[in-house]
Amino acid sequence: MSSVYPRKSSPSASTTTTAKASEVDNYVSHTLKTTKPLPPITWSNLLNELNWLNVAILTVTPTVSFVGAYYTKLRWETALFAVAYYFFTGLGITAGYHRFWAHRSYQASKFLQYFLAIAGAGAVEGSIKWWSRGHRAHHRYTDTELDPYNAGEGFWYSHVGWMLLKPRRKPGAADVSDLAKDPVVRWQHKYYIPLILLMSIAVPTIIPWLCWGDARGGYVYAGFLRLLFVHHSTFCVNSLAHWLGSTPFDDKHSPRDHFVTALVTIGEGYHNFHHQFPMDYRNAIKWYEYDPTKWFIWVCSLMGLASHLKVFPDNEVRKGQLTMQLKRLRETQESLAWPSDSNDLPVVSWDSYIEQSTKRPLILISGFIHDVGSFIEEHPGGAHWIVKYIGKDATTAFFGGVYDHSNAAHNLLAMKRVGVLHNGIPLAVDDKAIPPSQRLKIARYAELSSTTGASSATYSDVDEKEGLLS
């Protein structure tokens, strides 16, 4: 994080890392420079550098799932239950681990907290404490080496590679003091192993066994195959959501918005929005976009289980969108050819204009001299009208005296500028001197202030308006 404001005296600099960050130009580059990564992974050290526990979990799960599914009949009751259990444990991660604990985007009753902590254990993705710590670093250091699932390392690294391999660096510092104090987080962390065995295998086996006598189907489909889906669905938030889709709110980093990602991640697919407004309890802001996690939290709030659902001010959300829209329009603007500006054209006297127009077809309109040689035969109103005005001022004729030309005609005319008549352009900004395509233009702030002196004018006005800040 770069430090824009000097924060040495800031009372809010509660952690040592924040204080340190204020002393260096950029925390990330400073940390990368001053700490040594572990040696790179090669074929010769690979076996030592694998995280064997994660390798076991992430290979045993698909193996049992596929082999089990091949030899086990799927009953419809078990199939429905497995889907429901997928959503139950998935929501434990998305609504619980992610939006509640990692981002504190709403408040939850104790009952809901235990419900989410237990459901999330069934997804076997580590304890809330470990998961949220990594996720906060992911948001704070997105796309850098301090981001534990840095998308810059490639799709598969951000999907599973970061768990299979021992990380080369510790994730960047993130404040998790609230989680360390949280009784539900501590309880889940303490009983994590029995909780995952209970919630990922025992419960999905026992329920189908007791209710419709299908223990084996429950074990294979609601236990393992469902776990495989929950794993890769939530892993997609780190891989697919940083790879596929659009950037309607900000394109500084890799997070993207895509419906397909939302579909496979229980609504976490509007990830460009999420990285811009991580405290917002929503990922999708439009009612028709697929975000079951948001719907779940909203229903919980109706039932009195959740409250204080955080929503970023719509005005600021729309500013982000507008910025990106303007950026894209600016790219279009820059890809087009524009007429020469009056400052870039030779200034010609009236007598010189008359004289030069005897040698080439020049027409004066709105103070600009145009060479219409390539256009005479193509003029939709007939060549004779153009010939008639060579060496004359055709301003009135062009703007309605003879024919009120279209915007397109005006734009095209401006491309034929070759000179400016001395004293010929009206001082006041006249629509006739500006082609319609240029009356609205996208300019960078620096361009505006350098031409109009806007910033200095703002400061010189201060005296007149002295008073309390409102």
At its nearest, how many Å lie between Zn ion and the CB of residue 33? 25
List the interface residues with Zn ion, window 227-266 (CB under 5 A).
Answer: 255
> What's the sign of the alpha-carbon dihedral 6, 8, 14, 17?
positive
List the interface residues with Zn ion, window 325-354 (CB under 5 A).
Answer: none
At its nearest, how many Å lie between Zn ion and the CB of residue 65? 27
Helix (H/G/I), strand (E/B), else coil: 345: coil
Cα 40 from Cα 49, distance rounded (Å): 9
At its nearest, how many Å lie between Zn ion and the CB of residue 236? 11
Q: Which residue lies nearer to Zn ion by CB, 218 or 255?
A: 255
At its nearest, how many Å lie between Zn ion and the CB of residue 159? 12
| C-alpha atoms less than 13 angstroms from C-alpha of 67 in its C-beta half-sphere | 6
At its nearest, how many Å lie between Zn ion and the CB of residue 153? 13
Helix (H), strand (E) at residue 65:
helix 52-71
> What's the sign of the alpha-carbon dihedral 197, 200, 204, 207?
positive
Q: Which residue's Cβ lies closest to Zn ion?
A: 255
Q: Which residue lies nearer to Zn ion by CB, 240 or 386?
A: 240
Q: Which residue lies nearer to Zn ion by CB, 92 or 339?
A: 92
* DSSP 8-state code for residue 7: -
At its nearest, how many Å lie between Zn ion and the CB of residue 239? 10
Q: Which residue lies nearer to Zn ion by CB, 217 or 255?
A: 255
Show the tokens assigned to 73: 């009949």
Q: How many residues bind Zn ion (CB under 5 A)?
A: 1
List the interface residues with Zn ion, window 160-199 (CB under 5 A).
Answer: none
At its nearest, how many Å lie between Zn ion and the CB of residue 102? 6
At its nearest, how many Å lie between Zn ion and the CB of residue 98? 6
At its nearest, how many Å lie between Zn ion and the CB of residue 235? 12
* DSSP 8-state code for residue 58: H
Q: Which residue lies nearer to Zn ion by CB, 134 or 255?
A: 255
Closest CA to 208 of 79, 384, 48: 79
Closest CA to 265 of 284, 248, 247: 284
Q: Which residue lies nearer to Zn ion by CB, 140 or 416?
A: 140
How many CB atoms neighbour CB 169 within 10 A?
Answer: 17
Q: Which residue lies nearer to Zn ion by CB, 97 or 368?
A: 97
Q: Which residue lies nearer to Zn ion by CB, 61 or 293?
A: 293
Q: Which residue lies nearer to Zn ion by CB, 243 or 353?
A: 243
Cα 369 from Cα 424, distance rounded (Å): 10
At its nearest, how many Å lie between Zn ion and the CB of residue 241? 6
Cα 208 from Cα 196, distance rounded (Å): 18
Cα 106 from Cα 258, distance rounded (Å): 24
99: exposed, middle or buried (Cβ count in 10 Å: 0-12, 13-18, 19+)? buried
Helix (H/G/I), strand (E/B), else coil: 266: coil
Cβ atoms of residues 384 and 414 within 8 Å: no
At its nearest, how many Å lie between Zn ion and the CB of residue 49? 25
Q: Which residue lies nearer to Zn ion by CB, 239 or 357?
A: 239
**Between the CA of residue 348 and those of 248, 343, 345, 367, 419, what are the distances in Å?**
48, 13, 9, 10, 7
At its nearest, how many Å lie between Zn ion and the CB of residue 258? 13
Closest CA to 225 of 31, 107, 67, 25: 67
Q: What is the greatest pairwise CA distance in the chain?
A: 103
Cα 84 from Cα 66, distance rounded (Å): 20
Q: Which residue lies nearer to Zn ion by CB, 138 or 216?
A: 138
List the interface residues with Zn ion, window 94-133 (CB under 5 A).
Answer: none
What values do phi and psi take at 419, rounded to 5?
-165, 175
> What's the sign of the alpha-carbon dihedral 332, 333, 334, 335?
positive
Q: Which residue lies nearer to Zn ion by CB, 81 or 100?
A: 100
Show the tokens assigned to 233: 């669905």
Residue ranges that bind Zn ion, judged by CB under 5 A: 255
